[in-house]
Amino acid sequence: MPENTVARQPFPGPGLRIRIVGEVTRERLEILRTGDAIVREKLAAAGLDEEIWQCPVALLADARSMGVQGGAVHMADRPCCARRPPRIP
């Protein structure tokens, strides 16, 4: 088997459903998939994807974030957060 298949971290837990707080929709699943891909990409770029025991988990919150730019308030999209798994002694 190719090394990238053998070394790939398994999908965390029972899947995407438990990583979405609130209603599960196709749109929210796509947001979470995008966030998960970004977390994995950043780990690989930092050379940490083979150093850690479990990939951090991307979570989609049931909220909307607000941002201010140039004095105007802008509604941002739903925040997708990365949670670092606890260390195992």
Which of the listed CATH numbers 3.30.300.10, 3.30.360.10, 1.10.3720.10, 1.10.240.10 matches domain 3-83?
A: 3.30.300.10
The 10s digit of each residue's pLDDT in 51-60 is 776 777 777 8
Of the two residues 88 and 66, the one the predictor is more confident about is: 66
The 10s digit of each residue's pLDDT in 33-69 is 888 888 888 888 888 777 776 777 777 888 777 777 7
Residue in the structure block whose two tokens are 């998939």: 33
pLDDT at 89: 54
User: What is the Rg, in whole angstroms, of the alpha carbon atoms belonging to the chain?
Assistant: 16
pTM tops 0.75: no
Length of the chain: 89
Question: In the chain, what are the domain boundaries?
Answer: 3-83
Contact between 85 and 56 (Cβ < 8 Å): yes
pLDDT at 79: 76
